Amino acid sequence: MNFSNQVLKKILWAVSGTLIFIACFPALPFSVIYVEITPPGDTSGTTLKASIETEGKGKITVEWMNARYDSVKVAKREDIVTDTAGVYSSIISSDLGWYWINIYNEGDSLLWQTDSVFCGPDSSLPIVHFSPNPESGAVPLTVTFSNVTKKDAYTRCRWDFGDGAASSDWEPVHTYDSPGVFVVKLSVCNLAGSSSDSAVIKVTEPLSVSSVEINPHGSSSKTLLTASIQVKGGGDLKVCWLNAVYDSVKTVFTDVITVDSNGAYESTFDSDLGWYWIDIFDEENSLLWHTDSVFCGPDSTVPEVVFAPSWLYGSHPLTVDFYNQTSKNEYTKWLWDFGDGFTTNSDWEPTHTYENAGQFMSRLYVYCLAGSSVDSTLIFVW
């Protein structure tokens, strides 16, 4: 009996030690140790399978995420209860775009996030580029946007013109109705995501000229003329220098000035002799300003023409001497018109014979650097 008691005590001690040993090693905590999505990608929609290897016992929530056109959504959500360590599966019939998995535990803590796999014809982000024409000008400024971005059937775009207006046209035309500096942004998205490009459009006030002054105001000889032009707005000014000498007018120089801000701009010209003035035009060839003339030369006085014929009447043939009483200098030119179809510019005081009867209006034209004048007398021949 005593022996039996001793044996029983040893047995109980051994059993209780084992129980104590087992209690010191509780069950392993639940965790996800590996996730793989197959296939890793495809050119079109396909069935995706996630193999999820877990350790321990618990419940997980599997979220299939889908991203396309920069929009992210939950494509599928399911709960999986794991009784033992092992590999569990989740399957989704995919559409196009990026797919990945988020796995949460029962406390909604994120346990795992996979890399993304792509289902679609092209996983490349678009390379965006466009060019505006023109890039600057005065209001109203109409700009054409050329989009050279590569596109396919899944490409979408959005334009932000920087003035509150937008468009989804591939190559839009937009008009800016107020001055300012506008940043235009083109965003292009495809199944893989989006990229953007931007450009700056500078819109100025309508081009206008408020004053023009040519210096010096005159000169006794050739000189350098400088025009100071006060301008508002922006764009290209066409400054035309004109010269009049001996009653001949021509444009001698055209200067194009690009105006990018309000202020004074200069145009210069190395003059010859004669009258000079400026006509200023905008890009549409509309006249904005016409200046007064300045004179470069020894005398800006228009000649006072006076002549006297030796005979005012007589029978034919009638020979008449013409006496020229006009003052002249080295720049003076002249032309005699005898009224019977004959002219001359060689003799200062010519002699002319009228061979036929009639009334003939003789005229003398005298030209100088400043301009011209004329005098006339009627000759009677019978």
Model confidence over 215-230: pLDDT tens digits? 998 888 889 999 999 9
Q: Is residue 199 scored above 90 in pLDDT? A: yes
Structure confidence at residue 46 (pLDDT):
84
Q: Is the pLDDT of residue 17 over 60?
A: no
For residues 312 and 331, the model is more confident at 312
Query: Does the pLDDT of residue 2 top 60, yes or no?
Result: no
Phi and psi of 274, rounded to 5°? 120, -170
At 135, which amino acid appears? E
Own/partner contacts of 171-174, CB < 8 Å, gap of 24 or more, are: 171/144, 171/145, 171/146, 171/147, 172/145, 173/142, 173/143, 173/144, 173/145, 174/142, 174/143, 174/145
pLDDT top residue among 236 and 361: 361
Contacts of 105 (CB under 8 A, 6+ apart): 30, 58, 59, 60, 61, 111
Backbone angles phi, psi at 145, to 5 degrees: -105, 120
pLDDT > 90: percent of the chain: 68
Phi, psi of 91 (to 5 degrees): -125, 140
pLDDT beyond 80 at 365: yes
Q: How far is CA 97 from the centre of its chain?
A: 35
Span of 175-179, 269-273, 297-301, 341-345 with lowest mean pLDDT:
297-301
- Which is more confident, 69 or 237? 237
Residue 26's pLDDT is 53
User: Is 325:377 a contact under the CB 8 Å cutoff?
Assistant: no
237 is written with which tokens? 């000014």
What's the rounded mean pLDDT across residues 254-274? 92
Note the pLDDT tens digit of each residue in 276-318: 999 999 988 999 999 999 999 888 888 899 999 999 999 999 9
Has this prediction a pTM greater than 0.95? no
Q: 70-84, pLDDT tens digit by residue?
A: 789 999 999 999 888
Q: Average pLDDT, stretch 126-153? A: 94
Tell me the residue type at 303: P
Q: Hey, CA dihedral for 329, 334, 338, 343, is it positive or negative?
A: positive
From residue 147, give the alpha-carbon distance in Å to each of 124, 133, 136, 200: 18, 11, 18, 15
Q: How many residues does the chain have?
A: 382
Alpha helices in the chain, H assignment, sequence order? 2-23
Whether the per-residue pLDDT at 192 is higher than 60: the answer is yes
Task: Name the average pLDDT for the chain.
Answer: 89
Q: Which of 111-120, 242-251, 333-342 has the largest mean confidence? A: 333-342
Q: Tens of pLDDT along 83-101?
A: 888 999 999 998 889 999 9
Residue 28: per-residue pLDDT: 58
Residues 6+ positions from 228 with CB-CB distance below 8 Å? 212, 213, 215, 264, 265, 266
> H/E element holding 193?
strand 193-204
Express as a percent the part of the chain with pLDDT over 70. 92
Residue 69 has pLDDT above 90, yes or no: no
Domains defined for the chain, CATH in brackets:
31-119 (2.60.40.1930), 130-204 (2.60.40.10), 208-296 (2.60.40.10), 307-381 (2.60.40.10)
Say how far apart CA 115 and CA 102 lie, in whole Å: 10
